[in-house]
Amino acid sequence: MTCLARQSGMAEQMLAFGAEWLPQERLSQHTSLGVGGPADIIRLHDTCRLPEIAAYLRGHGVPWRILGGGSNLLVADQGLPDVLLQLVRGEPIRFAGNSAEVPAAANLGTAVLECAKQNLGGLEGLAGVPGTVGGALRMNAGAYGTEIADVVRALAVFRGATGLIETVKAENVRFEYRHTSFSPDDVMLGVTLELEERPYAAILERIKECNRKRLASQPIQERSAGCIFKNPPGRSAGKMIDELGLKGTPVGGAMISERHANFILNRDHATAADVLKLMDLVRMRVLKAFGLELEEEVIVWKG
């Protein structure tokens, strides 16, 4: 089905599913980097309706992807033919003892703070990481010695391949450095975290300490997608890029951060093409100088 053909009646159909239909949204408005062309978005308020919506799209030949907070995402300038499904947080976090049931659509930093108010810690290093809990789970987000995998007990997952919602125990998921064993069409719906009982004041002080380090070393006030490349085993991607004197290197409106060499900034109306060219330049220079091929940490959607 073409983008034009599927517009007719889609808004009414999505309303019946308890969802919103946002046709041809500029993805530059939905990503922290601020680049990306148009795509149709379905905002879903009730995750229980996800199987119905996915089945409807599949039945009409419409490909789809899941859109989280857009904080680790680079989208092509020409946009995407796929419909993007975006979960909207509805349910609150539920606490029982030292466990917390957290919706995947929840903001990660907000979730960390809400847990802290219940005297539950273990995620302090992630308080300043942008994006949703679902995105953090899929990428096994980590910072300052903490990975979200450390505290996951179980996950609620929509399996795109089967159309079913399943509960998956943490031991049945392979968590690796910035990677998990989930399939691309698996959608995180929620997670049960097993946290540590700690005084709120101690948790808050650790969060402040991590955020002070983050503020001192990262360009968190500027438009970026976070770290662009993964660290090779035993090496720092940012340090290698820095040693090559590439800080401040521009391509079009994109520029390698002067503060942290593994960040690419949208300094002046950058395009996705600008960012991709800059990434290719970095990869080529690192490969030539260090014999290492950098792997992307940012998710790239080229359509």
Could you report the per-residue pLDDT of 221-270, keeping only the tens digit for each? Answer: 999 999 999 999 999 999 999 999 999 999 999 999 999 999 999 999 99
CA 214 to chain centre: 18
Supply the pLDDT for residue 7. 62
Q: Could you report the per-residue pLDDT of 53-112, keeping only the tens digit for each?
A: 999 999 999 999 999 999 999 999 999 999 999 999 778 999 999 999 999 999 999 999
* Backbone torsions φ then ψ of 239, nearest 5 degrees: -65, -40
Query: What is the tens place of the pLDDT at every residue in 12-30?
Result: 999 999 999 999 999 999 9
- Average pLDDT in the 277-291 region? 98
Helix axes 108-117, 200-217, angle to 10 degrees: 150
196: pLDDT strictly greater than 60: yes
Indicate the DSSP class of residue 17: T
159 Rama sector, left if φ>0, alpha if ψ -120 to 50, beta otherwise: beta
Domains present along the chain, CATH in parentheses: 5-87 (3.30.43.10), 94-202 (3.30.465.10), 220-301 (3.90.78.10)
Give residue 90's pLDDT. Answer: 74
What percent of the chain shows pLDDT beyond 70?
97
pLDDT of residue 5: 47
The pLDDT score that the predictor gives to residue 91 is: 84
Over the chain, what is the mean pLDDT? 94
């820095």: which residue's tokens?
242
Closest CA to 53 of 93, 104, 88, 102: 88
Task: Provide mean pLDDT across the span 119-130.
Answer: 94
The pLDDT confidence band at residue 119, using thresholds 50, 70 and 90, is: very high
Q: CB under 8 Å to 276, separation ≥6 — which residues?
A: 74, 300
pTM of the model: 0.91
Q: Residue 183 above 80 pLDDT?
A: yes
Band (pLDDT 50/70/90 cuts) for residue 6 is: low
Q: How confident is the model at residue 214 (pLDDT cuts 50, 70, 90)?
A: very high
CB atoms within 10 A of CB 9: 9
Confidence of residue 8 (pLDDT cuts 50, 70, 90): low
222 vs 303, residue with greater confidence = 222
**Residue 1: pLDDT over 50:** no
Question: DSSP states of 40-108 as a string?
Answer: EEEEES-GGGHHHHHHHHHHTT--EEE----TTEEE-TT--SSEEEEE---SPPEEETTEEEEETTSBH
DSSP per-residue letters across 109-124: HHHHHHHHHTTEES-G
- In three-state secondary structure terms, 144 is coil
Residue 203 has pLDDT above 70, yes or no: yes
